[in-house]
Amino acid sequence: MPQKTMENKARLDGQLAVISGAGRGIGRAAAEQLARVGARVALAARSEKALHEAAEAIRAQGGRAEPFVVDVSQWEDVRRMAESVRHAHGAPHIVVGNAGVIEPVGPAWTLDPKDWAYNLAVNVTGAFHLVRAFGPSMVEAGRGVFIFTSSGAAKHPVAGWSAYCAAKAGLDLFAETLAEELRTVAPSLRVHVLYPGVVDTAMQQKIRETPPERFPRVKEFQAYHAHGVLRPAHEPAALIWWLATPFAADYHGRVASLDDPAVRRPLAADLGLPLFASRPS
Ligand code: NAP
């Protein structure tokens, strides 16, 4: 493929991207990445200060960014954001459901039911809220991409993470079901799920600080950090960028994992990036 065509397909000029969990970590890196390649970005998270700093940093680089203080577990918050975004800019082209929480961590029989329910309300219901709020305008426009940040924990039990594992497994099947529902009604809309690997963010710091009686594998995660093998957030951000482009069409309705060389290779070639290293998963 000639270089010029590759560049055009990778650019997101004129597109509007909504990203939840964009105040820090993977979501912030994704917002910065999408803005760098031309998208206008709407950033959502709960902490106003972090959100404003993230939006300001993007604007300082010449990007277009708007912060929205939103708790994705709260339908009214998400609905209000969608109304404001739609009113100003119309239907988004890209919606990234990335907001997530790991807590509560500990044996299932010891956890506070309210905390457990909140984890699912953020990780799963939060993704549904985005689809419910932005989906109608995207279906009507007949185009768009949903991208959900899931986790390898969706596929493997991890002692201490009952809420997180259950939530991410639920998120995966929610996304697959959504893809199935859109297939006939709006075949140009795509749904993607990514597994980012073990990424150097505040969430990993929380994991490392958990006492072993609540999280038996804590030493393993402390060792990842000590040995410097965590993925930098710009790597999953690049995966989110790739998934937002037509290059990733084959991954519609199925998981794209950064641990999979079959994902990392075309990502690097299509976007003109170095091949990301293999890391622990
Ligand atoms: P992070 O650094 O803790 O960032 C999480 C982001 O989500 C923050 O901006 C946070 O901001 C926001 N958020 C949390 N709860 C929210 C809510 N109820 N409503 C709106 N925003 C909310 O974590 P991260 O590592 O970047 O994680 C991003 C995603 O990647 C999550 O879905 C996580 O499960 C997934 N993931 C991470 C790893 C990893 O190793 N880091 C591995 C696999 C999957 P506020 O607190 O201000 O709301």
Give me the pLDDT at residue 3, please: 43
CA of 185 to the centre of ligand 1 (A): 31
**Shortest-distance atom of ligand 1 to CA 24:** 9
Token readout for 176 is 């697959």
pLDDT, tens digit, 9 for 90 and up, residues 203-249: 999 999 999 999 999 999 999 999 999 999 999 999 999 999 999 99
With a threshold of 0.85, does the pTM exceed it? yes
pLDDT, tens digit, 9 for 90 and up, residues 2-23: 444 445 899 999 999 999 999 9
* Mean confidence (pLDDT) of the chain: 96
Q: Are 100 and 44 in contact (CB under 8 A)?
A: no
CA of 21 to the centre of ligand 1 (A): 5
Output helix, strand, coil percentages for the chain, rounded to the nearest 5.
55, 15, 30
For residue 155, how many other CB atoms are within 10 A of its CB?
A: 14
Report d(CA 66, CA 188) in Å as an integer.
Answer: 27
Report d(CA 239, CA 244) in Å as an integer.
Answer: 9
- Residue with CA at minimum distance from ligand 1 atom 48: 46
CA of 23 to the centre of ligand 1 (A): 9
pLDDT under 70 in the chain at which residues? 1-7, 281
Give me the pLDDT at residue 279, please: 83
Q: Are 266 and 250 in contact (CB under 8 A)?
A: no
Cβ < 6 A, ligand 1 pocket: 20-27, 44-47, 50, 70-73, 98-101, 122, 149, 151, 196, 198-199, 201-204
